[in-house]
Amino acid sequence: SYEPTWGSLDARPLPAWFDEAKFGVFIHWGVFSVPSFGSEWFWWYWQKEKRAPYVKFMEANYPPGFSYEDFGPLFTAEFFDPNQWADILKASGAKYVVLTSKHHEGFTLWGSKYSWNWNAVDVGPKRDLVAELATSVRNRTDLHFGLYHSLFEWFNPLFLEDATNVFKTRKFPTSKSLPELYELVTKYQPEIIWSDGDGNAPDTYWNSTGFLAWLYNDSPVRDTVVTNDRWGVGSICTHGGFYTCSDRYNPGHLLPHKWENCMTIDKRSWGYRRNAQLDDYLTIEDLVKQLVETVSCGGNLLMNIGPTHDGRIAVIFEERLRQMGAWLKVNGEAIYGTKPWKAQNDTVTPEVWYTFSPKEGKVNAIFLNWPVSGMLELGEPQAKLGETQVKLVGYEELLKWVALGEKGIVIALPQLTPQQLPCQWGWTLQLTDVN
């Protein structure tokens, strides 16, 4: 039984499935998908910061007096097919998905009784989008279903009143934020609660420890649920389940605590942008590199897509997801269920990252550039003559190698045409019986 204190909550072991999963897909979808301009922070940048591009965009395209709330009915989702989404998620090789149930705009993608007339059942699609996706994901895939939830809401009068009182009053969390969280968990039983948006308020204002104690002790998902670290000012990278530390966090070295790199395929935004250029999207080479670096350093990769207001996953996002799945179909054994090895990346050849498969006792060396010479030199493994075996994943025959003194090995790669390569964008060598 966990106490509502960080000392007690932080001692809870992270359910094993999360570390084994390694790869998830983040989905940012909401009313911000309607203007689909600039960023999912559209409302804040337009109304609060009055940034010129946003103000000009509204003046040029919408009538005077048009409010952000007027975008609500235009969030229509008429092409949203949860089965199709689930099939794309499955094809991506991801093991979990995290949907934004509510962003900082306060609009809930389920018919929350705490978000009157500002939710997807009352306004816009007139559908429970959370329920539909949860059902499809659970019926058609083995992915774990998770939900993102923003603690604060930019323009909620109750939150603004509490903020004016320097959070000495707690009207907003007690009447809105916390009831929503309890509702989400009991209704949809998500296995990840991805909290965000502390609104510069401490965790005591949000009663985060009280909620987490209930989540871990009494909730329907108490045994399997994982949480992140965004539960109030000062909790990020310090308290909670896995650490996120910052957006697009990729430290490049091993961390002592389980962490996640949440990042976006669109370099500039989490929500869909109609004005995005091809160059704004990360290539599949970029994404494979992010995955390999992240996993070798003990992290999970949470890769974000932003669907359109009418419920489509844009073709470029679908292509990237399917490419990732194709790569993982070949190289998944070097990713899923692995542990970090003694070295994370190679000391001699750049762009070589290591993972360790504990069940098989194999060292995986994932290299992102195929050497022109056909010889790959690795500085880290200690090979044993007559014992060490080297295999290129997806290729039948064992590879020849030569040891270099105490440490290091040169491997002769097979001469293959592009058509004969087991995959593109990165390759895995499996080394057995290395010291």
Alpha-carbon gap, residue 93 to 407, rounded angstroms: 35
**pLDDT (mean) for 377-389:** 95
**CATH code 3.20.20.80 region(s) in the chain:** 6-333
**pLDDT (mean) for 62-77:** 98
**pLDDT (mean) for 89-116:** 98
| Strand pairing class (192-196; 226-227) | parallel
**pLDDT (mean) for 76-98:** 98
**CATH code 2.60.40.1180 region(s) in the chain:** 339-432
At 435, the pLDDT band (50, 70, 90 cuts) reads confident
At 411, the pLDDT band (50, 70, 90 cuts) reads very high
pTM: 0.98
Alpha-carbon gap, residue 269 to 305, rounded angstroms: 9
Q: Where are the beta strands (DSSP E) in 134-278?
A: 144-150, 192-196, 226-227, 259-264
CB 103 within 8 A of CB 40: yes
CB 225 within 8 A of CB 193: yes
Alpha-carbon gap, residue 401 to 389, rounded angstroms: 9
Torsion sign, CA atoms 85, 86, 90, 93: positive
At 347, the pLDDT band (50, 70, 90 cuts) reads very high
Instruction: Looking at the structure, give the CATH architecture of the domain made up of residues 339-432.
Output: Sandwich (2.60)
CB 233 within 8 A of CB 203: yes
pLDDT digits (tens, 9 = 90+) for 106-144: 999 999 999 999 999 999 999 999 999 999 999 999 999
Q: Which of 83, 184, 146 is nearest to 300 (CA)?
A: 146
Token code pair at residue 277: 């250029």
Q: Which of 356, 419, 421 is nearest to 393 (CA)?
A: 421
- Please, what is the average pLDDT of the chain? 97
CATH number belonging to domain 6-333? 3.20.20.80
Task: Write the CA distances from 51 to 36, 65, 228, integer angstroms.
Answer: 16, 17, 31
